[in-house]
Structures are given as C-alpha cells and as structure tokens.
Structure 1
C-alpha cells in the first residue's frame, strides 16, 4: 500500500509501505477514503517539534472496515467509520469518565503506528476508538465531508467552547482563525452564544468565521487587536477560546478575558513561556480550562447535528487533494494558502 511518510522538515513523501495486519483480537483494518492534514502536523513539518524520520503521518481517518479481530463486537467489514485523533480502549478509568485522551492504552495514530494519510490503517481497540456512520449516510459524500472534521478540529473547537463555559446568551471571543478557531466559532454559536468575536489575521478566513456565526471579526494585530476586542465587548469577554497554542495567542486570550472569566485553551502549545499570560490571568482571577480534546466524548452528539443538517463544519476545507497530493497539501497549509486540506482517496 501507499502512505505519506515524514523524512524531515518540509519533506513528506508518498511511498510504498507494508500493508497493516491484525495484530490483536481487538484490532480492525480500515481502508481510508477520506483524511486530512491538520494544523498541528505543521509543527513537525516545520521542524518545531520532534517526529520520527520514516514515521507515517496523519491522525484524522475515515474509511471502510475491511477486517476485524475476533474480539471486536460493534463493527463488521463494510461498515463506514471515522476515528478521533486519539486511540482509546473505552474501558479504562479515564475512558469511563470521558477523558479519552488519557486512555491507559497510550496509543495514537502515526509514527510507529499506521498513519491516517495512507491507503489503510490498523485500528487498535476498534470498539473503543472507531465511530460507525449510520448506513443510510455511508455513501453520501456531502455528509461524509461534513463529518470528517469531527475526527479532530470540530470536536477540538467544541472542547474550547465547553471549557470556556459558553452558554446561551453569552459573549465569547475566539482567538485564532485556523480550522480549530473557525470550528470554535461554530461551536460557540451552536451552544447559543449571543455574540461571538473572531480574532485572526486573514480576511478570507474571517469570512468563514462570519458564515459560522461570528457577529464581529477583528483582523488587527498585537495590542491594536486587544484594544479593539476589549472595546467591542465593553471590557472583555467572560468566555475566551484560545485555538492556536502560540505564546502571543495565549497572551491575547488572557488580555481579552474579562476579570473572573475563563479561557478554554486547545491550541497545541509550542514555544510558550508561561510567565506573561499567567501573570495577567492571576491578576484578573481568570480561569484556565481545556487541554487535548477528548473527541470521543463529543463526537456522537456532534454527529447527530451533522446528520440532521444543523451543523456543517466542512467549509474549513479550502483545498482537496488525492493521496499523491499530500506533500502539496502540507506546503499549502504551511504557506497559509489553505485553511485545512482534505485528502480524498478512491472509494
């Protein structure tokens, strides 16, 4: 089979690799039909985080089950499935309380395991990890493209909104106009926020934010952006979604939070020095909630909304490639030519 493989900063190649095989009775083999390039993939692509050379890449799989181990009870060959970016057994202490990203199985897509940007994957703990798409939607391309963001960015944006405490009638500020930030806007709107302020630097992305329910957008940078957000919200918001993970975005989130408010942070932290924004939050009694999104906790509820036509995060995909186009997809996202890249394989 063919799959995308990381060889170093800026160097992702599509190569022949061994087909995955069932290794445990709880495994399944999934033929990938849809996947994506994630903003968090850019950290290793740019050489800003470690990743094993020769490791397969991708963590947002959707496809069709080809084989299941003897102990798999909820799936059978032919089922259409998607998977959260983290693998979960569904049975340990942490899975039972909805903290699937802390599963004691401690496995993930990519690296030494099979990456999702390829023709097939072995899915460990298939019953706990894979989410079945109802048969009536299994071949509906529009629905599948709307469901694909639930593997990561939609659920991650939702986690930011939930962590920030967004509820009906609230005002929320979303820091970041990448796919997660845009999904954060959509999530805050879905939860009933009366006012959603989207902060970013790209007019085309802020247009998507408006489509997703942003009532105000801010394209300024630095202190100008902070001042505009505080003025728009008459002193800041009680609910702030931090969806980038950079030091500057964390500082912005802290500054635009209203005293006594909460920042829901889901951006993967890179190069963040804590002194500045924590000092701001300390002085304002601002809470900090969030972390790695437990996608499996949210995916069923969000899927129900997608299937009934009330939720559609698919506009975050602004470029589509085939498997051979994965290297170009990384480059497009790295150069900010695409918000998020969808990868479609032959079905």
Structure 2
C-alpha cells in the first residue's frame, strides 16, 4: 500500500510500505477514506533530522473497517469509523477517568506504527479507540467530522481547561486550525466576547465567522497591551494558547485577568518555560496538555452532525495520497491552512 513517509526536514515522500494487517486480536484494519495534515506535523517537517528509514506520519483519519481481530466487539467489517489522534484501550484507570490521552496501553499513530496519511492503518486497541459513525463514506459532513480526530477536540480542550462559559471574555492565541477551532468551541460554550491573535486575513476572517469579534495582529508586549486595553485594563477571563512556543505561553499568561485561566494545548516546541512569578500573584490558573480526544468525540459529535459545530472550513485544500508532499509544502509556506487527504 502507499503511505507518506518523512525522511527529514522538508522531505516527505509517498512510498510503497507493507500492507496494514492484524498483529494482535484486539486490532482492526481500517481503509482510509479521509485524512489530514496537522499543524503539529509541520514542526517535525521543519526540524526532523535525516532519517534513512523514514518515519510514518499522520494522526487524523476516518475510514472503513476491513478486518477485525477475534477479540474486537465494538466494530465490524464495513463500519465507517473515526480514529482520534491517539489510540487507547478504553478500560485502564485513566481511560475510565476520561483521560484517554494518558492510557496505560495507548500510543500515537506514525513512527513505527502505520500513520493516518496513507491508504490503510492497523488500529491497536480497536474497541477503545474507534468511534463508529452513522454515516456513509460519501457523506458531505465527513470533513467536519474529521476535525474531531484532533483539532476540534483540541480547541474544545483549551476552552474547557480555561473554564470558558457564558459571559466570559476569551482571547485565543494563534490563528491556525486549532486556534480557529478554539474560537468555535468557545462560542459553543457561551463565551460573550472572543478575541483572536492573528495576522493572516483569510484565517482571521474565518475566526470572525466562527464567533470572534476582534482581531489583534500584534505580538509580544504589544499584543498584551492591546488585549488589556480591550478588556478594561484587567485582561481576559480565559486565554487559550494554541501555538506551542514559550513566547506564546508567556504572552497568554500576561493576558489573563486576576483569577483568570490559561488553557494551553499548543504542542511545546522550544522547551522554553515560564517564570511562575509571572502569574502567581494574580492567581491565574494554568491548565491543559494533551487532549483526551476519545472522551470528547461522543460529546461533540451530535453537534457536528447537526451542523451546529462545523469546522470543515479549516480544510482549504484537498489532495490525493500522491499529493501529500505538495500538501506539506503548501502548509509550510502558508498557502494552505489545513490539507484534507482523500486516498
């Protein structure tokens, strides 16, 4: 089968790889119908050291079950399913607590395992991972559903971690797909006023469609000053950090009002920390981390299917498997926000 393999920074190739097949009786094999390139994939695309054997990539996909192991009971051949960006068993103590991202027997797609950017995937722990969908493979709502595999759940996690609710003033740091989904999630949770930090008109225009009322193009101290001016000098109730750099997190903390909260979900990239004195005296809460997408999908899916929660517009380019390298290039050069893959 064909799949995307990354051999180093800027080097993604589509290669023939071994077919996905059952290895454990808790596995399923899924033929991919929809996949995506994630902003977090770009960090590796920009930094990966040369790797002769390459690494498989991709962690967002929908597909049709082709085969199941003898112990799989929740899905069967022919089912259309969504896979969250991390697989989990659904039964360990952390899964039972709704923290599937910390599953004792889970893991991430790609690396030595099949990645979602290919024709098929072996899914470990299929019962705890896959979400059956009441749709046909040609349903036009599937791009909106695909957003639940990562970015929409991640935006929701940021909003939940920061306690977004009715009447809240929210600032979203970052205008990538996760930041835009954080806007959408905040609007769903009843935020009264949403501000987004961003400089790209196509993205900030979409943020306004999703519920943002103000755009702050500044960065650093200028952005903090602007946000405070917009919020009566106090800062926001909730700030959602959707970038992943130390600078973005520090700015987010400075934008929160006393007693406010920062929900951080940007994958940390530079290892830069923050001085706790930056927010200690203001009693600002810092919460977030890796999104337990498998816990959120059942909660959000009904709103996605009804059209109330539609993040499909973040996909602004579509490629086939052979076009995946061009999709990476387009996103890296900001010619595309998020690329949809249709094998």
Same fold (TM over 0.5): yes
Report whether the alignment pairs 1:62 with 2:62.
Answer: yes
Instruction: Identify the residue that residue 272 of structure 2 maps to in structure 1.
Output: 273
Report whether the alignment pairs 1:250 with 2:249.
Answer: yes
Give me the TM-score of the superposition, normalised by structure 1.
0.96
Instruction: Identify the residue that residue 131 of structure 2 maps to in structure 1.
Output: 131
2:7 touches 2:50 (CA, 8 Å); kept in 1? no
1:20 touches 1:114 (CA, 8 Å); kept in 2? yes
2:64 touches 2:81 (CA, 8 Å); kept in 1? yes
Q: Distance in 1 between matches of 2:203 and 2:226?
A: 19
Q: Shift in Å at residue 260 of structure 1?
A: 1.5
- Structure 1 residue matching 2:167: 3-state secondary structure: coil
- Structure 1 residue matching 2:185: 3-state secondary structure: helix
Aligned-pair RMSD on alpha carbons?
1.4
Q: Distance in 2 between matches of 1:282 and 1:120?
A: 48
Q: Shift in Å at residue 26 of structure 1?
A: 0.8
Q: Shift in Å at residue 51 of structure 1?
A: 7.8
C-alpha spacing 1:78/1:41, structure 2 compared with 1 (3 Å): same
C-alpha spacing 1:236/1:227, structure 2 compared with 1 (3 Å): same
Q: Distance in 2 between matches of 1:244 and 1:141?
A: 32
Instruction: Identify the residue that residue 33 of structure 1 maps to in structure 2.
Output: 33
- Identify unmatched segments of 5+ residues in structure 1: none
1:238 touches 1:262 (CA, 8 Å); kept in 2? yes
Q: Distance in 1 between matches of 2:310 and 2:152?
A: 10
- Structure 1 residue matching 2:108: 3-state secondary structure: coil
1:44 touches 1:51 (CA, 8 Å); kept in 2? no
Instruction: Identify the residue that residue 209 of structure 1 maps to in structure 2.
Output: 207
Q: Distance in 2 between matches of 1:223 and 1:272?
A: 20
Q: Distance in 2 between matches of 1:284 and 1:173?
A: 17
Residues 231-288 of structure 1 deviation map (CA, whole Å, 9 limit, x = unaligned): 1111211111111111221111011100111100000011132244x33112322110
Q: Distance in 1 between matches of 2:94 and 2:239?
A: 26
Q: Shift in Å at residue 318 of structure 1?
A: 1.4
Residues 162-194 of structure 1 deviation map (CA, whole Å, 9 limit, x = unaligned): 000001121111111000000000000000001
Q: Distance in 2 between matches of 1:244 and 1:160?
A: 11
Q: How does 1:157-236 map to 2 (within 5 A)?
A: 157-234=155-232, 235-236=234-235
Instruction: Identify the residue that residue 88 of structure 1 maps to in structure 2.
Output: 88
- Structure 2 residue matching 1:81: 3-state secondary structure: strand
- Structure 2 residue matching 1:141: 3-state secondary structure: coil
Give me the TM-score of the superposition, normalised by structure 2.
0.97
2:262 touches 2:287 (CA, 8 Å); kept in 1? yes
Residues 99-118 of structure 1 deviation map (CA, whole Å, 9 limit, x = unaligned): 10110113220000101100
Q: Shift in Å at residue 53 of structure 1?
A: 4.5
2:173 touches 2:196 (CA, 8 Å); kept in 1? yes
Q: Distance in 1 between matches of 2:178 and 2:51?
A: 22
Instruction: Identify the residue that residue 240 of structure 2 maps to in structure 1.
Output: 241
- Structure 2 residue matching 1:101: 3-state secondary structure: helix
Correspondent of 1:318 among 316, 319, 323: 316
C-alpha spacing 1:283/1:95, structure 2 compared with 1 (3 Å): same
Q: Distance in 1 between matches of 2:220 and 2:158?
A: 22
Q: Distance in 2 between matches of 1:25 and 1:228?
A: 56
C-alpha spacing 1:280/1:118, structure 2 compared with 1 (3 Å): same
Q: Distance in 1 between matches of 2:318 and 2:302?
A: 25
- Structure 2 residue matching 1:284: 3-state secondary structure: coil
Q: Distance in 2 between matches of 1:52 and 1:195?
A: 49
2:8 touches 2:49 (CA, 8 Å); kept in 1? no
Q: Distance in 2 between matches of 1:147 and 1:225?
A: 33
Residues 88-147 of structure 1 deviation map (CA, whole Å, 9 limit, x = unaligned): 00000110001101101132200001011000000001010001101xx22343211110
